[in-house]
Amino acid sequence: MKPALSSSRMFLLVLTLVALYLCYLVLRPYAAPILLAVIVAVVFYPLHRRIQQRFRSPNASALLSTAAALLVTVVPLVLLGFALSNELTGLYQSLSAKSAGQGGIVLYILHGVDQATAWIARHFPVPAVNLRAIAARRIEEASSGLVSLGAGLVGNLFVFLADGVIAFLVLFFLFRDGRSGLAYLSRLLPLSQERTAELWDRISSTLVANVYGGVAVGAVQGTLTAIAFWALGLGSPILWGLVTALFSFVPVVGSAAVWAPAGVALLFTGHFVKGIVLLAWGALVVGLADNLVRPWVISGRTSLPAVYVLLSLLGGVQAFGILGLFLGPVILSVTAALLEMLQEERENGETAVSS
């Protein structure tokens, strides 16, 4: 009887595992941009196929596909950033002009806090709280941390740009060599062609469904926020709707990064009814849209129950950050596919034994 595993094969196996671990250590700092490039490549692959049909050169088609992905994803964000910068500049100038008569923007904010305190005391039987002192202390703490925050933002900007360059470089090579690389990986897996194709199909369909779900959530939350801003008479509702749609992709904070500060600002400037309406609309309508729309869209395209999709989204964000929005459902979908394959293999084995 031959041994199950020869010494040479055992040595190669151990050496391969060590090499794979070392590769993991080398690539771990760039895991986020690499995974981002994989997601973008899967989403834009149908477009890349069309470009390949017109341009036979692999380099030319990959370069055009990468440029198309860059135009669709980055250029709108840059334009939106410029528009948001102009809007915030105008808002700051308006606030500074209103606060000039009260000794500056800090005193203007404290005056708004006094108004909010007086309004709450008149309408709600709550214990008296010195909101002015609390606000003054928080403003002092915030101002002392602005320098370190600015330095951190500059450092994060360089990291973001470096990760973006790496992501698009990887994206180019995925477009150019992705099919051959996928075929090589398929040959390494000890599975039949049908099983391997089913796994790749599960991964790609779940990634695409996640992107569609994110876009759907952004569209719904952005539209709801724009409607609220327009109904309450706030400035630039379309712009803030677009900003809300962008922030809907950010875990934990999400759309609240837009409507929550706006509602608090309305309260501090004496517009109490508008502030309460905006905060209630944001928490009860805009915020809950994510928990309803995203699982519904993803479950409809992956045949997974919506509650499982929701749990995979929440757990994925906790484990992997923003990329967990994509990785969580993929892990769940692939796990379900593997369990189904094991079940089929067991049934086939039982059928073979009984026959």
User: Could you tell me which residues come within 8 angstroms of residue 318 by beta carbon, excluding any fewer than 6 positions away?
Assistant: 324
Least confident of 55-64, 109-118, 141-150, 154-163: 141-150
* Residue carrying structure tokens 């990634």: 207
Q: Would the pLDDT of 138 be above 60? A: no
Q: Is the confidence at residue 200, as pLDDT, over 80? A: yes
- Burial bucket for residue 17 (CB in 10 Å: 0-12, 13-18, 19+): exposed
Instruction: Give the span between the Cα atoms of 286 and 264, in whole angstroms.
Output: 16
Q: Which of 115-124, 133-142, 207-216, 259-268 is predicted with the least confidence, judged by mean pLDDT?
A: 133-142
Phi, psi for residue 126 in degrees, rounded to 5: -115, 155
Give CB contacts under 8 A, 24+ apart, made by 73-77.
73/40, 74/164, 77/246
pLDDT in tens, 31-81: 888 888 888 888 888 889 899 888 888 889 999 999 998 888 877 777 777
Q: For residue 221, which of 175, 152, 169, 290 has the smallest C-alpha distance?
A: 290
- Three-state DSSP state, 11: helix
For residue 355, give the DSSP letter: -
DSSP 74: T
Measured between alpha carbons, how far is 355 from 342 in angstroms, rounded to an integer?
A: 20
